[in-house]
Amino acid sequence: MAGIKVSTVVEAPAERVWELLGDFHDLGGWHPGLPASSLGNELTGNAIGSVRVFEIDGAALYETLLAYDEEARSYTYSFPEGTFELYGYRATLRVTPVTALDASFVEWSATYDVESEHRKATADRLHGVFTAGLAALRERFAG
């Protein structure tokens, strides 16, 4: 099992950051590299099992919400098996207060299986997506 974790500190209270990040269907609203998503099934909002669909380079990317915890400010989602040569993909986006700074610690992590010949390219691709999103988030809330 491979994995990646990317994190940053955002200069805003966790409640404000979570107001933006906490909508599973609005990732494309704040991530500069992703378009707006559409609904992939009848479940809306942050209902477990809800599917968001991104149209990227003429292909549809389906992501399913597996867990949502409003109190812990986190959610976990997956891709269908084989998407980007990934198996068992599970990603979590989490916002934690940094109380001494009235700021937020934001972590985006994923675990997955991938064949060895795709390991580096996959890690690089995920790192790029996660890093770009967190950098945009940090800029959005910057002083």
pLDDT tens digit sequence for 51-67: 999 998 888 999 999 99
Q: Which domain holds residue 80?
A: 2-141
Give the model's pLDDT for residue 84: 84
- Rounded CA-CA distance 113/70 in Å is 28
Long-range contact set of residues 90-98: C-beta below 8 Å, sequence gap at least 24: 90/66, 93/21, 95/14, 95/17, 95/18, 95/21, 95/22, 96/14, 97/13, 97/14, 98/9, 98/14
Q: What is the mean pLDDT of residues 94-114?
A: 96
What's the 3-state SS for 2-69? EEEEEEEEECCCHHHHHHHHCCHHHHHHHCCCCCCCEECCCCCCCCCCCEEEEEECCEEEEEEEEEEE
3-state SS assignment for residue 113? strand
Report whether 79 contacts 62 (CB < 8 A). Answer: yes
CATH number, domain containing residue 100: 3.30.530.20
- What is the overall mean pLDDT for the chain? 95
Give the model's pLDDT for residue 123: 93
How many domains does the chain divide into? Answer: 1
Spatial CA neighbour of 77 closest among 57, 105, 95, 53: 53
* pTM for this entry: 0.94
